[in-house]
Structure 1
Amino acid sequence: MTGNTAFDPTVPPSGTGCVECEATQGWWFHLRRCALCGHVGCCDSSQGQHATAHYKATGHPVVQSFEPGEDWLWDYAADDVRESGPRLAEPTSHPVSQPVPGPAGRVPADWVSLLHR
């Protein structure tokens, strides 16, 4: 698995939602945070799949769930769950008040049928 060079615990997340979805007024299902640069992107079930796109564009291999109550890591380079890593800078999730999927007001009524499976 990828070493600790995949982490920068001093970098805060880029925001409370997917950077690319926010820029296009899109929506997401779940959020992932790059453990190296803090980029917040949407998961592979989301239409944009921006967390994976960020890995492919940058080579930053590890993301952490950016969902409240979750701290698991995914290592794209190893294509596997990573059991541990350094604690990342706060906040470690989007606000609990932020709906899933989100953000409020931009999720289509038929969102379930739009998920990638």
Structure 2
Amino acid sequence: MSANVYDQANALESALRESDEFNNMKELYGKVNSNPESKAMFDEFRQVQMELQQKQMQGEEILEEDVQKAQSSAAEIENDENIKALMEAEQNMSQLIQDLNRVIMKPIEELYGINNQN
């Protein structure tokens, strides 16, 4: 009897939604959005990130002014406690997802002998 991987993936999604990491991130995102100054800074930061990502994906040159804009935006958000807390929560969530990815990839790594080759 084979396990229905998609059912288990959906269960994992539900577990992630109920996790402390996600709920903390959700609460902190709400704080950022409820503070007009934090929201404006965060929106600008995300816009700058998306523009840089789009340029990279399209093979466009990233200009010095693009880099300076990104650095300036990043420096601004570091001074906002709401955004700073949200970014830390995002890092915790990212770590959880990386840990889960290692677990998910374990059968393939074992199959190919990855990490066992010396």
Q: TM-score range by the shorter chain?
A: under 0.3
Higher helix share: 2
**So what's the TM-score if we normalise by structure 2?**
0.24
**Which has more radius of gyration?**
2
Tell me the TM-score normalised to structure 1 length: 0.24
